[in-house]
Amino acid sequence: MPIQYRKQHSFGPLKFNVTQNGFSSWSIKLGRWSWNSRTKEQRYDLPGPFTWRSRRGRANS
């Protein structure tokens, strides 16, 4: 099992993700809503263990 490097830097609602290959993606989280730049995915945290998600430009799955 190879060792992988992952690090997340937070600056308020912005989060920057870095891997061993360099900058990976950034995301923003405002309250229960979040968006990721790599996947173009929106998420909304629902009560309990549930989450709603939506992807732009792709079929929902």
- Per residue of the chain (61 residues), give pLDDT as tens: 588 888 999 999 999 999 988 999 999 999 999 999 998 999 999 999 999 999 876 555 5
Q: Could you give the angle at the alpha carbon of 18 between the alpha carbons of 25 and 34, nearest 5°?
A: 40
| Angle, vertex CA 43, rays to CA 38 and CA 45, nearest 5 | 145
pTM of the model: 0.67
Return d(Cα 59, Cα 10) in angstroms, integer.
30
Count each helix (H run) and each strand (E run) in the chain, helices first.
0, 6
Q: Which residue has the tokens 């709603």?
A: 52
